[in-house]
Amino acid sequence: MKVLVFGKTGQVASELSRIAPEARFVGRAEADLAEPGACASLIAESGAKIVINAAAYTAVDRAESEEEIATLINGAAPSAMAAAARRIGACFVHMSTDYVFDGSGKTAWPADAAVGPLSAYGRSKLVGEDGVRAAGGTYAILRTAWVFSAHGSNFLKTMLRLAATHETLPVVADQVGGPTPASDLARAVLEIGRQLVVQPGLSGTYHFSGAPPVSWADFAREIFAQAGCRTKVTNIVTADYPTPARRPLNSRLDCSPTETVFGLQQPDWKNGITRVLKEMDAMR
């Protein structure tokens, strides 16, 4: 079964290359998401049965001043990809984000909850979601949050880098979500694609993130504890750490339908930290 993956060096694409080395991975040089038509043409000639979009514009703060290009990459490109996948009879799996919600409340967001992005990045991802649904093919939109791995840029690696030179670090404690190991996310994306090939009626929007919910501050504490770092974490609130883009305070995602439909349980992010730290040790 031919699998085409947009993305080569990102966290999820890197993990997908391990579990699906037979897939075709395309990077920016071969298919720039800033050129949606080129991405659609590549799909048209691919012969793929599963198309996975593991690429995106992810510079959340920079998107505030680059919303047009962010929307082209996160909105127009996946819309064109989904339409192209439909035309060749392939299923399309697209990753989205908790940033499509406004972050209010303290309960987990169901997949059908009303959206209300607070940032340009969130708005750009919502355009992509709407385009994928409108394409009318076999698809899954998989929203996730707080992805981390031994590769690329992510919170875990940033915390370890800062811990090397800081005895104390202030970390936001009023934003809560589910850290998601990229390796588990990659397995989920691939498994959903495989099941959609057999059962296209499963198409829809789903959530997949780590459990249990935790604040950024407590996430950092667990990272330091497992890594043996002596750096102490002090709690701050979002207002103490202003950024160009507004972040959702509540990034909890209701993942129960994903388990019911696809048999995919939420991963334990603490176990994910353990695996990532071991991999980073092996890379040294």
- DSSP code of residue 72: I
- At 152 the pLDDT is 87
How far lies 243's CA from each of 201, 238, 239, 246, in Å?
Answer: 41, 9, 9, 7
DSSP 214-270: EEHHHHHHHHHHHHT---EEEEE-GGGS--SSPPPSEE-B--HHHHHHH--PPPBHH
- At 230 the pLDDT is 93
Query: Strand (E) positions, the chain?
Result: 3-6, 24-26, 50-53, 91-97, 138-144, 147-148, 168-172, 176-177, 180-181, 204-207, 214-215, 232-236, 250-251
Whether residue 179 is predicted with pLDDT greater than 90 in this model: the reply is: yes
Is 121 known to be catalytic? yes
Q: Which is it for strands 91-97 and 168-172: parallel, antiparallel or unpaired?
A: unpaired
pLDDT band for position 31 (cuts 50, 70, 90): confident
Q: What is the mean pLDDT of residues 174-195?
A: 97
Asked if 108 and 253 count as a contact pair (C-beta separation under 8 A), the reply is: yes
pLDDT band for position 283 (cuts 50, 70, 90): confident
Whether residue 284 is predicted with pLDDT greater than 80 in this model: the reply is: no
Q: What is the mean pLDDT of residues 117-145?
A: 97
Spell out the alpha helix ranges (H) of 107-151.
120-135
Amino acid identity of 221? Answer: R
Cα–Cα dist 121/246, whole Å? 10
Q: Give per-residue pLDDT as tens, 211-227.
A: 999 999 999 999 999 99
Backbone angles phi, psi at 121, to 5 degrees: -60, -50
pLDDT band for position 28 (cuts 50, 70, 90): confident
Whether residue 177 is predicted with pLDDT greater than 80 in this model: the reply is: yes
Cα–Cα dist 249/232, whole Å? 23
Task: Report the sign of the C-alpha dihedral through residues 41, 45, 51, 55, in that order.
Answer: negative
Whether residue 129 is predicted with pLDDT greater than 90 in this model: the reply is: yes
Burial 84-106 (b: 16+ CB within 10 A, else e): bbbeeebbbbbbbbbbbbbbeee
Q: Give per-residue pLDDT as tens, 15-27.
A: 999 999 999 999 8
- At 269 the pLDDT is 98
Q: Is the peptide bond before 36 cis (omega within 30 degrees of 0)?
A: no
Asked if 161 and 112 count as a contact pair (C-beta separation under 8 A), the reply is: no
This prediction's pTM: 0.95
Whether residue 181 is predicted with pLDDT greater than 80 in this model: the reply is: yes
CATH superfamily, with its number, for domain 3-283: NAD(P)-binding Rossmann-like Domain (3.40.50.720)
Catalytic residue (one of 121, 139, 206, 241)? 121
The β-bridge partners of 95 are: 142
> Could you tell me what percent of the chain has a pLDDT over 70?
100
Whose structure tokens read 């129960």? 256
Q: Give per-residue pLDDT as tens, 62-97.
A: 999 999 999 999 999 999 999 999 999 999 999 999
> Could you tell me what percent of the chain has a pLDDT over 90?
94
pLDDT band for position 1 (cuts 50, 70, 90): confident
Asked if 183 and 235 count as a contact pair (C-beta separation under 8 A), the reply is: no
Burial 259-281 (b: 16+ CB within 10 A, else e): eeebebebbebbebbeebbeebe
Query: For residue 44, what are the contacts with CB-CB under 8 A and spacing of at least 6?
Result: 84, 87, 88
Q: What is the mean pLDDT of residues 128-154?
A: 96
- At 154 the pLDDT is 96
